[in-house]
A and B are shown apart, each in its own frame.
Chain A
Amino acid sequence: MNPGPPELDITPHPLVALPRPMKPGSIPLPAARGEARRSGALSQATLHTTRAVADAVFSREGHAPPAERMDWVMDEYADLMARTTGRGRLMFWAATFAVGRVAPLLIRRFTHLTQLDLQDRIRALEAMEASPLAGILIALRAILCIVYYEHPDAARATGMPLGPLVKS
């Protein structure tokens, strides 16, 4: 009746040493990675705006993080959104929509966030963070942070130690 668990499609935690051999994978994934974006769980326009926000939030000295890292972050973000409920997606769609439209207005730019260059995007998001609408940006940034700092390079850059207290 049950053909048995399918192959597991998760990337092992790059920072965690396995304490013991694993059993064969057994997570029946609702949708393979990447499918989430194709199935339209979040529209390309929403993902485009999210990417514009993420590039600005995680930029350093006027440069967005490496494109390859940000592609990974966006894949992970889209997959996470695909696995929440419609209600969760609606919330984040609305947050992204609002940030995309409102943040530029706060620096008197009458265009969409994705149309601004990186410097102006940073200024627009800073203005939004200082406004009464900060909560919307904070929610979006929070989810992006959770995913972004899982990238080994980003995690390493924070200097947070990894591993347990008691080393065997």
Chain B
Amino acid sequence: MSEAVSFGRQHTGDLRLEAEVVVVGSGAGGAVAAAILQEAGHDVLVLEEGGYVHPDEHARMRPSQSLRHLWREAGLTATLALGDSPLINVMMGRCVGGSSMLTGGVCFRIPETVLHEWRQDHHLHDMTPEHLEPYYREVEEAISVQEVPKEMRSRSTQLFGLGAERMGFKLESMRRNTSGCVGWSTCNFGCPSGAKMSVGRTYLPRAQAAGTRIWSDCLVERVKIEGDRAVGVSGRVLNREGGRPGGRLTVKAKQVILAAGSLYTPLILKRSGVGRASAQVGRNLTLHPAFRIMARFEEEVRGGQGALQSAFSSHYEPEGIQFNSVFVPTGVLAATQPGVGDAHAERAAMLPHLAMFGANLHDDGGGTVHRIIGREPVVTYRMADKDRVAMRRALRIAGQTFFAAGAKEVFLPILGAPAMDPDQFAAYDLEHMPARRLECTSQHPLGSVRMAATAGAGVVDPDHQSWEVRGLYVSDGSVVPTSLGVNPQLTIMTLATRFARRFLGH
């Protein structure tokens, strides 16, 4: 793919470009739209703020190198917690390929209960499984979505599965966009076997083969609007020392597609003065607050061997909880361990005995993207009462599940909580634990520029076009009307396909 990527960082001075369609952001939503429109004969230009790293080079990186070169803010972005809410570490890609380069590959279709809500409460009447079927199929084929064989489950996942069975629920096999996975378990930091079919290996090369120009290191700040029409974008080329903003970036285009993700698309819209009428831009952000529960077993678990993510349980979905298998690299695992000096070393020696499982909350929202001075947005998040209940319940169930599988101790992601044996865990007052003590992450920001059937209720219409500005579209996670309760990349890519096909009049 690299041959056709132009490096903004190496361009001197200002940069002026012209295209029929300009796509801002090269992640899951942007890459899909770019490929489909270019293949249909449109002249597409993709602008990406982050740098370019070939997936093969990503595969060679250590996790901290991946953090430095592909992750936004080196993975350190955090929300401001409002009320009794956790501080949430929001993770995103900032590179050609966007967050798609960092996924665990998990692919879920939109649950029917969620589609029902979109039809019933949001009046998006054609959001039915039948209507979406051809778009799902197109994406699933393009990115090679397949079920993870049971043999690829790590011992960590097997143990949680064993506990689950004893507790009366089951793990099901996940589907992922991989081809030839051998179970390195490092998906988030690069795939050494080249098996993960991110947009960097699928849609972007396709777009380029059809003629799309991709510019890295180009920060879009505003949409240029004349009358009620978008006519291009402007921003800065990140070509000063240290990747700081340098030359001016000016792009003339007939159509503008924003695909900068759920935190940055609203920022660009706000800077451009779009959305003042509805006051919806930046609101309705959902995060799927996520956390990991760890357990120590007598046996060596070697949790990092196997598919990083292979199994899930939606048994507790009615309570807003989804359990997903997951693991982390050694350093990240060690980072979860307490202690200084010998006490830390003792804990580090236990790492091979640790198993881990993840939980996501199907949250009610409560997030807002604010524009302040500077390049980065401020994100506030107020956890809903229902989600606080679900969080405590998820911790309780996960702990019990590991003990049912024979764990000696569990480690809850609660600031200051000690390792607990079964008795200590049973006695621990989780039910009154303040949510602000939860160590929480999010990989799934959604909904801050949501699609709506009427102008006042959202930012874009069901064809992804801005309610206010003609020729301005959004194709990324920000349009997803509500929290999904499941990993979103397939949804985002499917909606992007639907958008692009409708744009083409199909």
Cβ of B424 under 8 Å from chain A: no
Cβ of A98 under 8 Å from chain B: no
Shortest distance in angstroms between B444's beta carbon and chain A's nearest beta carbon? 21
Q: In the complex, which residues of chain A have a beta carbon less than 8 angstroms from the beta carbon of B408?
A: none
Contact partner, B76, options A10, A56, A91, Cβ 8 Å: A91
Q: Which of A10, A59, A86, A129 has the most CB of B within 10 A?
A: A10
Given A2-B10, A19-B192, A166-B183, do A13 and B241 touch, yes or no (CB 8 Å)? no
Contact partner, A129, options B61, B243, B336, B340, Cβ 8 Å: B340
Cβ of B179 under 8 Å from chain A: no
Contact partner, B60, options A12, A79, A141, Cβ 8 Å: A12
How many contacts between A and B, using CB within 8 angstroms? 204
Contact indicator A1/B11 (Cβ below 8 Å): yes
Contact indicator B331/A28 (Cβ below 8 Å): no
Contact indicator A146/B192 (Cβ below 8 Å): no
Q: In the complex, which residues of chain A have a beta carbon less than 8 angstroms from the beta carbon of B184?
A: 16, 163-164
Residue of A nearest to B155 (CB): A165
Contact indicator B331/A150 (Cβ below 8 Å): yes
Given A146-B332, A155-B330, A160-B352, do A10 and B60 touch, yes or no (CB 8 Å)? yes
| Interface size in chain A (residues, C-beta < 8 A) | 73
Cβ of B416 under 8 Å from chain A: yes
Contact indicator B348/A157 (Cβ below 8 Å): yes
**Which stretch of B46-54, B165-173, B446-454 is in the interface?**
B46-54
Shortest distance in angstroms between A108's beta carbon and chain B's nearest beta carbon? 18
Contact indicator B52/A13 (Cβ below 8 Å): no
Contact indicator B416/A18 (Cβ below 8 Å): no
Given A125-B340, A129-B338, A164-B183, do A23 and B2 touch, yes or no (CB 8 Å)? yes
Contact indicator B54/A166 (Cβ below 8 Å): no
Contact partner, B183, options A3, A79, A145, A165, Cβ 8 Å: A165
Q: In the complex, which residues of chain A have a beta carbon less than 8 angstroms from the beta carbon of B351?
A: 158-160
Shortest distance in angstroms between A116's beta carbon and chain B's nearest beta carbon? 13
Given A12-B60, A80-B74, do A85 and B67 touch, yes or no (CB 8 Å)? no
Contact flags A65-97 to B (C-beta < 8 A → 1, else 0): 000000000001001111111111001000000
What are 19 A-B pairs with beta-carbon distances under 8 A? Answer: A8-B57, A11-B65, A18-B60, A27-B69, A28-B9, A28-B52, A30-B242, A58-B341, A60-B345, A87-B374, A126-B343, A141-B335, A143-B335, A146-B64, A149-B329, A150-B63, A160-B330, A161-B304, A166-B182
